[in-house]
Amino acid sequence: MTVGSQVKGCFASVKSIEASLQLFVNKTQDKETEESFLHVQQLVKEVKDDLQKQIIQLSKEEPQYNN
């Protein structure tokens, strides 16, 4: 498995986590818990955005990582 494939797989997992957190936000009725989920969701979004940049960078620098 190439580095590019691994990064793309990680990106997909992080997107899934982000979606799950949104479900938790929508289902919780406790304001403090909702704020915690929203905070974690923001952190996960930052990780997802960074991974997306890494995917773009890998595809530019290392053509063999394109899948």
pLDDT digits (tens, 9 = 90+) for 41-59: 999 999 999 999 999 998 8
pLDDT digits (tens, 9 = 90+) for 18-39: 999 999 999 999 999 999 999 9
> What integer pLDDT is reported at residue 1 of this predicted model?
73
The secondary structure of 5-59 as a DSSP string is HHHHHHHHHHHHHHHHHHHHHHH---HHHHHHHHHHHHHHHHHHHHHHHHHHHHH
**Cβ count within 10 A of residue 8:** 19
Contact 9, 51 (CB under 8 A): no
